[in-house]
Amino acid sequence: MAEGKKPDRGQLRIDEAECKGCGLCIEACPAKVIAMGEGLNHYGYRTAVYAGAGCTGCGICFMICPEPGAITVYRLVSAAGAATTTDSAKGATACASN
Amino acid sequence: MSNETVQDYVVAHGRAKSFYERFERKDELQHQTHFCPGCGHGTVHKMLARVIDELGIQDRTILVGPVGCGVFTYYYFDVGNISAAHGRAPAVATAVKRSRPGSIVIGYQGDGDLSAIGSAEILHAANRGEHVSLIFINNAVYSMTGGQAAPTTLLGQKTTTTPFGRSAANEGYPMHVCELLATLDAPVYIERVGLGDNRQAMQASRAIRRAIENQVNGLGFSLIEVLAPCPTIWKKTPVEAQRWVRDEMEKVYPLGVYCDRTKARMEAGLTQPAVAPTLDQLPGILGVAEADLPEGNAAALVADKPVDLQVRVAGFGGQGVLLLGEVLAEAGLDAGLDVSWLPSYGPEMRSGTSNCHVRLSRKPIDSPLVAAPNLLVAMNEPSLRKFDRAVRDGGWVIYDGDEFPADCVREGLHTFAAPFTRIADELGNKRAANMVMLGSLLEIASVLPEASVAAALHRMVKNPRWMELDERAIARGRELYRASLKEMVSA
C-alpha cells in the first residue's frame, strides 16, 4: 500500500487449503478484486486469489462461498474505534501469518 | 502483509462458531466439507450456522439431518444432531420438540427427501403447526444417488430416469411445496428463496434467520425453501449452475413469501408447543402408578421351576380371546415374569376369526410371536384345526367342545376338552367361557400364583358384576381340570 493513500475499507483472506475453486466469490465480488489463481493447491484445485487491494469489506463473497472458513473478511476499524478488542489484533496476526 | 498494515482490521465475516473446528471425516480432509465445489448446501450451512451464532442458541439447538448430500450435518454443526430416516425429519423433529420444548429444533431436508419420500411427514407436521423450523433445499433432482428425477424436477429437465426430459404426461408436473403447504391453516411462515445471485442469497440468509427467530419467539411452523445449485449433477460449472437457478428454476418456482402469520400469531398471544409427558408422568397416565398397583407377587411365584409358556388363544371375535390372553399376560407381569401379548385379528369386530400370542418367561422374550405354542386354547373347531398341528410335542390343547375331534388326536399331544361355553352359561353368562378356559389353563400350567391372577383380573375387568362372574368362572375352570385328573386316576 502506497504511503499517504487511503487504506482499503476491507481486507480479504482466502484459505488456500479450504478453497475448492468454484469461483462463486469471483462472480459475486462487487469490487471485482478476486480472481482465479494460476497454481493448484495441495488437493488439486485452482483456488481463488485476492488481488491484494480494493476490498470494501462487504462480505458478499463470504456469504456466497460454500466452505465454512475458506474466506475471512476483515473490516477497517475507524480511528475512533481503533483501540477496540484484542480480538482484532488476534485476527490480524492470523491474517498476517498466512 | 505486515502487522502494521493489518492491525486496524477486525474480522467482519468469518467462520461461524457453530461449526466444529475440525470435521470428523476422512483423515486428510477434516478442514473442508464433503460438498462439491459450488454446492448450495455449503452456502445454506453457513447461513444457518451464522444465525445460530447470532441468536446465541447453539447450546439448545437440535438439528435433524436428512438423507442425501445433506446427511453429514453432524460432521459440521457443533449442536445437538439427530439423523432421521429418509423423509422422516419432520416426524423426528416433532418428537424432539415435544420432548424438549425448550430446544430449538431445525429440520434440514432436500427435495427428494422432503417432497417425495417424506411428503406425508412434511404435510402433517405443517398441518399440526409443529413448533419447528425446516430448511428445504430444492435442487430439482435426487443428487446424491446420481441424478434421478424428483417430484421437483422441471418439465423437460433431463435426469437419469427422464433421459428425454421430464414430460407431464409421464412424470407429472413439478411439485410446488411452498404453495401446497401455504393452503394449510397452521403454518406461521413459508418463504421460497434462491441462491441465484447476490441479491437472492441475501434474501435467503434473512429468510432463514426469520424461520429460526419465529421458533425462538415461540411461534409455530416455519419452512424456508431454498432453490440451490447442484453443479455436479446438473453438469454445469458452479457459476453456470447459479445462473440456472436464477434463469430457469425461478420461472417454475417463483420466489417470495407464501404464508406469513407471524404478526397475527404474535397478537393472538404465543401458542405453546404441545409437550410430551415426562417419564415420571407416564405411570399415572397409564394407570400403573405405584399407588394403583397391587402388592407385587413376584415372591409368590410357584416354585422355582423354569417358566416358558408359549400360548396361542384362538376363537371367533367376541368370544373374549384377546381378554383371556391379556389377563394371562397381566398375571404373569404381576408375578414378576417377562411377558408379551400380541393380538392378531381380522377387520371384523364380530364373528371374524381372532387370536393372540402370549408369552410368559423367566428370561427376556426375544419375539412376541408364538409360531409353535406349547399351549393352545381353541374356542371352536375351526380354530382348533387351524392351529393344532403347530402345537409342539408334549404341548397341551384346551378345546371348547364335548369331545376332542378324533382326527386331531396325535401322539405326544395332551388334550383337555370340555363344554366350556355351556358351563359358563350355567354359571350365569356364556360370555364367561373364556375365563373358564383360563381357569383350566392356569391349573394345567400351574406356574402363576392365584393372587397374581386375582390382581390381573382386578386390573382388566372394571365392572364388579363381571368381576364376580369371572372369578367364579376361573375357579370353575380349575375344578374342571382337577376333576378330570381324578377321573383318570380312578379309571
pLDDT confidence of residue B335:
87
pLDDT confidence of residue B350:
62
**DSSP labels for B145-162?**
TTSB--TTPPTT---SS-
pLDDT confidence of residue B302:
53
| Domain interval for residue A72 | 10-97
Which chain B residue is nearest to residue A20, measuring alpha carbons? Answer: B37
Round to whole Å and give the CA distance between B14 and B113: 31
pLDDT confidence of residue B491:
65
* pLDDT tier at A89, thresholds 50, 70, 90: very low
pLDDT confidence of residue A88:
42
Average pLDDT per block of 10 residues along chain B, 491 residues long: 58 95 86 93 97 96 95 95 96 95 96 95 96 96 93 96 95 96 96 97 97 94 97 95 97 97 86 77 78 54 74 90 94 90 77 87 92 94 91 94 90 93 94 95 91 90 92 96 85 65
What distance in Å separates residue B43's CA from the closest CA in chain A? 4
In this structure, is residue A37 part of a structural domain?
Answer: yes
Which chain A residue is nearest to residue B2, measuring alpha carbons? Answer: A96
* Residue B27 touches chain A, beta carbons under 8 Å: no
Q: Which grid cell is B213?
A: 427467530
CB A17 within 8 A of CB A42: yes
End-to-end CA distance of chain B: 111
Chain B residues touching A93 at Cβ < 8 A: 3
In this structure, is residue A1 part of a structural domain?
Answer: no
What DSSP designation does B370 have? -
Q: Class assignment of domain B287-490?
A: alpha beta
In this structure, is residue A3 part of a structural domain?
Answer: no
pLDDT confidence of residue B271:
67
Domain count, chain A: 1
In this structure, is residue A60 part of a structural domain?
Answer: yes
In this structure, is residue A19 part of a structural domain?
Answer: yes
In this structure, is residue A5 part of a structural domain?
Answer: no
In this structure, is residue A2 part of a structural domain?
Answer: no
What distance in Å separates residue B39's CA from the closest CA in chain A? 6
CATH number of the domain to which A34 belongs: 3.30.70.20
What's the CATH architecture for B3-267?
A: 3-Layer(aba) Sandwich (3.40)
**What ipTM, to 2 d.p.?**
0.81
Query: Exposed/middle/buried for B55, CB within 10 Å: 0-12, 13-18, 19+?
Result: middle
Give the side-chain half-sphere CA count within 13 A for B47.
30
Count of positions (residues) in chain A: 98
Which chain B residue is nearest to residue A29, measuring alpha carbons? Answer: B198
pLDDT confidence of residue A16:
93
Q: What mean pLDDT, rounded, does chain A reach?
A: 81
pLDDT confidence of residue B295:
54
* Domain range summary for chain B, segments of one domain joined by +: 3-267, 287-490
Round to whole Å and give the CA distance between B401 and B419: 5
Round to whole Å and give the CA distance between B443 and B64: 53
